[in-house]
Amino acid sequence: MRAYLDNSATTPPSAAVAARVREWMESGWYNPSALYKPALEAQKRMEETRRLVLEAAGAAGQRVIFTSGGTEADNLALIGTLKSRRQPGRVLISSLEHPAVSACAEEIRRLGHRTEEIPATAEGRVDLQRLEAMLDPQVLMIAVMQVNNETGVIQPIPEIAALRNRLCPGAAIHVDGVQGFLRVETKFNAWGIQSYALSGHKIHALKGIGALITGAKAPLKPLLFGGGQEGGLRSGTENTCGILSLGEAIRTYDPAANARMRELKKRLREGIRQQIPTARVNGAAEEADTAPHILNLALTPVRSQTLLFALEGDGIYVSAGSACASRKQKISLVLKAMGVPTETADCSLRFSLSPLTTAEEIDYTAERVAAHYGVLKSYTRR
């Protein structure tokens, strides 16, 4: 049997997306900037996707810029916004961020701004009390993700926006919504944030397509220069098949799948804990504080890479953290920011589900995790 539980790294294109992409690759490949009828049809379909993105994010009346993925969207939001600021200031970045955001700090400092890290609580949420103490009129921007990609913890965006409104109303808030979009409720307009990034391949669209939502008139400078596509903010011929795959993924996403994923996540957690009582959840204890598709478990004393490779032999695919950083660092920086001891972080695995995940995959995974753990726990680390 095969069980793919690394959907936070990427998801397979859905059957609906695959069928549409095949159709569009044959008939919808025209350059949407051209003036003849087939190209105008491609442009029309592209604008429909833009509408679907705004509707799904509660961002009616705002602007969508198509990008190559979540990383480019995050970079454009952060660097593009700060390039438009004339005076230097402070930029606050959550200590829980994905590298697509945290790695921008060096470039932000090159622009003349000062970056500071927002501490996290032991449960993996931004520490609101400490954030409040950091806020003043010198803060230009706050970057906080919607759902943590390693623990699944939902960040308190409304509370952060309320603090911003009271203490530094001129500061922009950027939200990396790559793991939150469609999986948890997004209220761009109601929250009062200035930008929101998302990625297609996390929701069963193609790789190579993402989007940045910004305020309709939010100041933003481009990072790419050329033909002036996307309102002059992201030059380059649009990835029409990617954009249309994103639209199809949004259009066909079933909100009821989120409740099913949450039940399956609970089934996996309890299935493992029944056989391994010492298994510990990394992140918030309350289910309502987490996304439905991500579970991070510490299985001390078995090292995560050892268990990961053992599970791979059974056709079970999980991860030890962010796929974007897994080959570059030994210990998760997210778990470190939460104060998780090194020996615990080194024994932690991330299981991430999708609407395609089945109960059979969950039960098989729980059984194999317990079986391997029973053997491997007897071995001591050298």
Domains with residue ranges and CATH for the chain: 3-11+255-376 (3.90.1150.10), 15-252 (3.40.640.10)
Amino acid at 346: D
Structure confidence at residue 326 (pLDDT): 47
Average pLDDT, the chain: 95
Task: Read off the pLDDT band of 322 (50, 70, 90).
Answer: low
Report pLDDT digits (tens) over 26-77: 888 899 999 999 899 999 999 999 999 999 999 999 999 999 999 999 999 9
CB 277 within 8 A of CB 254: no
Report pLDDT digits (tens) over 246-295: 999 999 999 999 999 999 999 999 999 999 999 999 999 889 999 999 99
Structure confidence at residue 285 (pLDDT): 83
Structure confidence at residue 382 (pLDDT): 47
Structure confidence at residue 380 (pLDDT): 55
CB 173 within 8 A of CB 144: yes
Task: Read off the pLDDT band of 330 (50, 70, 90).
Answer: low
| Percent of residues, the chain, with pLDDT higher than 90 | 90
CA-wise closest residue to 160 among 189, 135, 185: 135
Please identify which of the residues 104, 168, 324, 347 carries the catalytic annotation.
Answer: 324
Q: Is 324 designated active site? A: yes
The Cα–Cα gap between 212 and 64 comes to 6
| Percent of residues, the chain, with pLDDT higher than 70 | 97
Q: What is the pTM of this model?
A: 0.95
Provide mean pLDDT across the span 169-197. Answer: 98
Provide mean pLDDT across the span 348-355. Answer: 98
Structure confidence at residue 381 (pLDDT): 54
The SS3 of residue 170 is coil
Task: Read off the pLDDT band of 113 (50, 70, 90).
Answer: very high
Structure confidence at residue 331 (pLDDT): 80
The SS3 of residue 247 is helix
The Cα–Cα gap between 73 and 56 comes to 17
Residue 330, exposed/middle/buried by CB under 10 A (0-12, 13-18, 19+)?
exposed
Report pLDDT digits (tens) over 215-238: 988 899 999 999 999 999 999 999
Q: What does DSSP assign to residue 153?
A: B
CB 175 within 8 A of CB 211: no
